[in-house]
A and B are shown apart, each in its own frame.
Chain A
Amino acid sequence: GAGVSQSPRYKVAKRGQDVALRCDPISGHVSLFWYQQALGQGPEFLTYFQNEAQLDKSGLPSDRFFAERPEGSVSTLKIQRTQQEDSAVYLCASSPVTGGQMGAFFGQGTRLTVV
């Protein structure tokens, strides 16, 4: 497809379960961002990759959150031992240039519900 693709679209996890969320950015895009969006709130920055390098992970809320982009294309956001407060929509965005200049293209997100 032409856009940013995220999977799964919806995920229900039991508290304590590990989850992995996948992002397929637009082909050739250098920059990749992950955001967390709670219901009724704006997206909150989690982490930023330039190619395979994770240049900023200051937004990851705890060491239970881990992101990778080993080959500079597909990225995975992993959450270990999920907790109810992790329930949110996780958005991935990519950009053809370094950083977010010119904005970024967002995927539809993965809605995570922890029960």
Chain B
Amino acid sequence: GESVGLHLPTLSVQEGDNSIINCAYSNSASDYFIWYKQESGKGPQFIIDIRSNMDKRQGQRVTVLLNKTVKHLSLQIAATQPGDSAVYFCAETDNFNKFYFGSGTKLNVKP
């Protein structure tokens, strides 16, 4: 099956700094990607998505970058806040019905 993985299992950043979370995927046919945030004891929460016909998409304090050539996805969080502490997952699909999630990156924001 498809493989969606993350380079760094844990990322620690200082409050106010920018965070970058990376994700690699293996299915070149994937055409839709989502970043989710999961806090302890809760279900994943949608952050931002991007389609394969784009290479960048911006939201509020977050930016997703997609490099299809190397099958790499990143999530940038500007001015990281303590409330951003969570586990972040990337998810991919090639049919919009079945999503493959990575194993997650834990983001620790130090005050």
Contact = CB atoms under 8 A, between A and B. Distances in A.
Interface string B53-95: 0000000000000000000000000000000000001010101
B45 A106 contact: yes
Interface residues of A, number: 28
B: contact size bracket: 20 to 34
A42 B88 CA distance: 9
Contacts of B36: 103, 106
Nearest to A59: B98
Contacts, number: 61
A91 B38 CA distance: 12
Interface string B34-50: 10100001111110010
Contacts of B102: 42
Interface of B: 4, 32, 34, 36, 41-46, 49, 89, 91, 93, 95-104
